[in-house]
């Protein structure tokens, strides 16, 4: 597939550990509700209608790129397209977020999942959105593809919605380790196919979101998250290589996962995303010098007065250092954020 030549490769260089002229930055959830132009689009279309319409998904992906001097674009989609592809219903309820009205209740329910589903076909609309976005980006910045990690997806599939404790999903881990591992394996297979499809379609970096990592802790993480996270990087990179595609850097973001940083440094990912609860210097000590770190400004720091914000960012960049580093927030931007604050963030990173 021929795409326009990439003009800004800072993100990919930093991901590969190469020197950069300035620190690259992108923002988790940079496409979305804090942008008036997204709200305008969203007022006319359902959330999953935007995801499933490649032209609209490309439009939502490009909105932040038109507005800000970002160093990457992320494809507009959601992690819950995998449970959908496995046959589960997912609705997006205003004020609630994603809801799965028929969650998995017992291990028997795993057999209701459409495990033979051809993920590549079912989610081909994401591939098409990636192709269109790559063309429309015209090489301005690289395009990031993504997936949820198996434990995070298992959590939504059992809880049926976001949960403060994930107690139902964790009960599976303690009561039925074999069924839990079977489910995680089924999800992992889908994630691998899905990410390889995104790479084939033109994604230039792949990020895996383990957004529910904070609920596990070191022991459960070793048994129920890490093996699947590792399996994904090794199988995706192996398949991409077999297919003769360019090397594709991968990022693992485990929210609340500082207990696992040493292991994550050895898990086959090029970049480790950090939330704001760990000091950059401590994170670097834990992961060693080889991997690139991404993060980790508290999303709420954007509410601070401009002068304070600039100081926080300067301090953050100083602590991470300018090599092997991609600036980002420590989690997604909040929907009530003023877009001007994002412009200030990007500016301050570029100046730091
Ligand atoms: O009604 C709407 O418009 C819904 C708002 C919204 C948007 C804009 C949701 C619902 N998802 C998204 C897009 C989205 N989701 C993107 C693309 C945009 C971008 O990043 O620029 C991405 C990467 C995601 C990934 C995602 N979805 C994650 C992982 C990242 C993270 O925040 O930890 C998770 C956990 C989800 C689930 C989800 N989808 C939407 C919401 C509100 C949530 C979280 C809900 C919860 O747990 O309570």
**pLDDT, tens digit, 9 for 90 and up, residues 22-72:** 999 999 999 999 999 999 999 999 999 999 999 999 999 999 999 999 999
Residue 1 has what pLDDT?
Answer: 67
Determine the distance separating the centroid of ligand 1 and the alpha carbon of 58, expressed in angstroms: 16
Domain ranges of the chain: 10-351
Residues tagged active-site:
29, 33, 42, 78, 156
Q: How far apart are the first and last CA of the chain?
A: 37
Per the CB < 8 A criterion, the answer to whether 42 and 63 are in contact is no
How much is the mean pLDDT over the chain? 97
The separation between CA 86 and the C-alpha centre of its own chain, rounded to angstroms, equals 20
* H helices present in the chain, as ranges: 10-15, 36-44, 47-52, 54-67, 81-85, 119-122, 124-137, 150-159, 167-175, 177-201, 217-224, 226-242, 261-265, 280-287, 306-320, 339-351
* Residue 146 preceded by cis peptide, ω within 30: no
Nearest CA, atom 1, ligand 1 = 47
C-beta separation of 143 from 199 below 8 A? no
Kindly give the distance from the C-alpha atom of residue 242 to the centroid of ligand 1, in angstroms, as a whole number.
32
Task: Write down the architecture of domain 10-351 according to CATH.
Answer: Alpha-Beta Barrel (3.20)
Q: For the chain, which ranges sit under pLDDT 70? A: 1
Amino acid 315: pLDDT: 98
Is the minimum distance from the CB of 329 to ligand 1 under 6 angstroms? no
Ligand 1: which residue has its CA nearest to atom 46? 162
How far apart (Å, rounded) are the C-alpha atoms in residues 128 and 183? 28
Which atom of ligand 1 lies closest to the CA of 148?
29
Q: Which of 75, 80, 98, 157 to mutate to test the pocket of ligand 1 (most atoms within 8 A of CB)?
A: 98
Q: What is the pLDDT of residues 106-145, one digit of tens each?
A: 999 999 999 988 999 999 999 999 999 999 999 999 999 9
**Residue 98 and residue 349: Cα distance in Å, rounded?**
33
ipTM greater than 0.85: yes
């Amino acid at each position: 597939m021929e795409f326009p030549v990439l003009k800004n490769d800072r993100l990919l260089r930093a991901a590969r550990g190469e020197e950069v002229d300035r620190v690259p930055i992108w923002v988790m959830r940079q496409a979305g509700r804090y942008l008036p132009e997204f709200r305008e689009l969203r007022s006319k279309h359902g959330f999953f209608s935007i995801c499933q319409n490649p032209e609209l998904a490309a439009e939502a992906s490009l909105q932040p790129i038109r507005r800000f001097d970002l160093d990457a674009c992320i494809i507009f989609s959601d992690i819950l397209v995998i449970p959908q592809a496995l046959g589960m219903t997912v609705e997006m309820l205003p004020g609630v977020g994603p809801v799965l009205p028929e969650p998995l209740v017992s291990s028997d329910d795993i057999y209701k999942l459409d495990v033979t589903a051809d993920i590549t076909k079912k989610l081909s609309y994401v591939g098409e959105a990636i192709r269109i976005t790559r063309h429309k980006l015209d090489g301005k910045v690289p395009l990031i593809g993504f997936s949820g990690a198996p434990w995070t997806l298992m959590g939504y599939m059992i809880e049926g919605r976001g949960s403060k404790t994930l107690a139902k999903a964790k009960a599976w881990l303690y009561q039925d380790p074999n069924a839990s591992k079977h489910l995680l394996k089924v999800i992992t297979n889908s994630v691998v196919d899905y990410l390889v499809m995104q790479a084939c379609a033109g994604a230039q970096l792949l990020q895996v979101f383990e957004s529910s990592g904070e609920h596990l802790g070191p022991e459960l993480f070793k048994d129920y998250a890490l093996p699947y996270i590792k399996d994904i990087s090794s199988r995706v990179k192996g398949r991409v290589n077999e297919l003769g595609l360019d090397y594709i850097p991968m990022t693992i973001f485990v929210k609340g996962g500082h207990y696992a940083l040493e292991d994550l440094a050895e898990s086959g990912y090029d970049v480790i995303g950090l939330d704001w609860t760990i000091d950059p210097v401590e994170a670097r000590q834990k992961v060693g010098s080889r991997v690139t770190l991404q993060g980790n400004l508290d999303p709420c720091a954007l509410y601070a007065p401009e002068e304070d914000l600039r100081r926080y960012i300067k301090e953050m960049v100083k602590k991470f250092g300018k090599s092997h580093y991609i600036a980002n927030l420590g989690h997604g931007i909040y929907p009530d954020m003023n877009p001007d604050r994002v412009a200030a963030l990007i500016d301050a990173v570029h100046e730091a």
